[in-house]
Structure 1
Amino acid sequence: MLMASACQSSHAGHLEMRKRSRKVLPLSEKMKVLDLIRKENKSYAEVAKLYSKNESSIREIVKKENEIRASFAVAPQTAEMTATVRNKCLVKMEKALSLWAKDMTRKQIPVDGNVLRRKALSLYEDFCKGSPQTIYSKPFTASKGWLHRFKKRFGLKNVKFTGEAAYAHEEGAATFPAALQKLIKEKGYHPKQVFNCDESELFWKKMPNRTFIHKNAKVAPGHKTWKERLTLVLCGNAAGHMIKPGVVYRSKNPRALQNKNKHYLPVFWQHEKKVCVTTIVFMEWFHQCFVPQVKKYLEEEGLEFNVLLIIENAPGHPESVCYENDNVGVVFLPPNTTSALQPLDQGVVRFVKATYTRLVLERIISAMNADPDVDIMQCWKSFTIADAIMFIKAAMDELKPEIVSACWKNLWSEVVDNCKGFPGIDGEVRKIIHAARRVGGEGFTDMLEEEVEEHIDGHQEGSMSEELEELVNSCTEEGEDDDDEESEAEPAMWTLPKFAEVFRIAQTLKDKIMEYDPWMERSIEVTRMITDGLQPLQQHFDELKRKRQKFPIRTFSQKGLAKKRPAPRQLILSASAPSTSS
């Protein structure tokens, strides 16, 4: 009994001794340990005896020297635990890698663990180049353990298409066109009744990477390139007709559009914080844009409103859309066949982006022609979302029906007549090169065709890191307000004085052209074009005058009545009439 008691007492004392010996040293004491070893050349054994520690504990402190010194700079001196310095480059890299993996999945590009690890190292190196040098405990090696934790954190259960899955995708791409054509024949769809919808991001203010505009914009204080992104929603039929394009932007009411009636823009306007086509955004587009636009088009063509809509199998495209309208049949492309079968992805999207890029450069040239002393950076900074919408409309107008129809070759070859291949953008690239050389300056005069094509294609391997960083910034900046968004304002409306001002400026312009141009035949043609172009406004003006005449101003001889009766208010255009300024 006594022996048992003595053993228990001895064991308790031993535990107490062990507990005391394992007391964690504060950071300040750990710094002293490091100084004794590094500066005073003390041995591990001497320092361990001084602090009543095991020699292995002192060696562990020295092993974590970088981490301890970094923590001591930011943590209280009495802190006992080493604070881990947050590796911002690693955090950014992982967010970018998850976006890249999802983008590769959307584009049906096979990705496995080895590819992910190599891409992680590449992105990490890119992000660390422009970051302040910080001491981290361990270098990043993209180990298998890190990959396992990364996939678990971001929910990447499977990012590899191999074996049976890859075969299924190939088989789907091979068999789907025949099944679709059988459905079209059974339902009796006309090519004008079969539509395809495609979505694509557009960095609407971005310049090719080597231009001085792009370089200056990257380092400009307060400039956030990620905000200059929108999503284009394009939709066209097998006969080559395109309906009004959709635009998804981050702001509901940006300053540049505050005086515009959103219902009368040349695009279908939608807003979503992250500029993504979510289920809500897609269903809004389906009901408010696709259905009314297609119904109107088919009425003009003398066809029944009975259509087939082909869309890709994307998260923002819910299966419930199949039941939204009895006159609209919906077919989803097989998984991972978009790049091979999606009609608008075979050339239409690239053509629109190429034309848009050329129009942006031509805008800069026009500004330089109007004012030789203009600052190109200021001209570029003044480029607004309203200008982008105007150029999207202009690019769509240059899209010929035969270009759209040719893109249906893989999916419905019977509807394509004498097609030699998908439409290219070689002609537009040459025009862009020519326009760039007229702009002049670094990155413009020596612009290469390869650079232009890379810029048009957007998220290519060479420029992926930069654009991923922009997307990461958009995800990590919390609580940020939209700088250019204010409260909703009433659209601007026409009045008689506004019409008078516009017509007066137009007349001055025509007079100057007739005065300055030595070639009279040309000046007559230009002034006639100006007059013809103003005809819609002239008709609007005449309508407004007729409404005004319904309220004649009466003259009263009695001063008292004239004093009491308020002056007739100026009649303005009703909100239901279209705004011609858009």
Structure 2
Amino acid sequence: MEVVNIAEQESLNGRKLGERFNISKSQAAEMVKNKEIIRRQWQSGENLDQKSAKLKGEAAQIDRVCFEWFARARNQKIPISGPLIKTKAKEVAIELGHRNFSASDGWLNKWRRRHYISFKSISGESADVNQEDVNQFLERLPGMLQGYRPKDIYNVDESGLFFRALPDKTLMLKGEKCTGGKMSKERLTILFCANMAGDKEKLLVIGKAARPRALKNLPLKSLPATWTSNKKVWMTRIIMTNWLLDIDKE
């Protein structure tokens, strides 16, 4: 399959493919000639060298239906986890009338091996931190905190909560490009605050609407968090200033 992919991506002839993969020119040409057969075998998940007996009866039915469902979901870029596969397997077993089926971790691992399915991150995010700046700040910090009690030393940070986002990890077929569908950008911004003594302040939650439809008949002051809003759901100077003034009053 790797030879076929490279042949299609880079338009290499048999000789160059042979050099790349250390095989003969005729072997490479034969693989390219039969690429559709190779692709179908690969996509089926069957291990052509596997010596163990194939699944039969209800086990084979559950295995096949689960794999077809999994393939359709991944084709739509839907992330699929192990627990979700097991839940689907139980559902399939009940629909097929197999009440004694157990979707255990062992079953899941064997199912994954049979179909060459791995578990990967769809996307990652990294940021470089200047360690020198961090070290300098840590050296200055004790002097900055002198004279303050632990209950008067606060740490504050904000985070986006993408409450409709799909998971960022998924089970996937071997060799499948790990991409996801369009991620939901609908979110809240939440400000967290706690002091050095371990006391937590009330969460500040920033939404898009001044009064969300879900909270229409609920007094906002009764919420376990402080609700505020702006069109972009961002922390703004005005929101931060008002929050600091309220904390200062306390």
- TM category (shorter chain) comes to 0.3 to 0.5
TM-score norm. by structure 2 comes to: 0.41
Q: Which has the higher Rg, Structure 1 or Structure 2?
A: 1
TM-score by length of 1: 0.19
Structure in which a larger fraction of residues adopt strand: 2
Greater fraction helix: 1
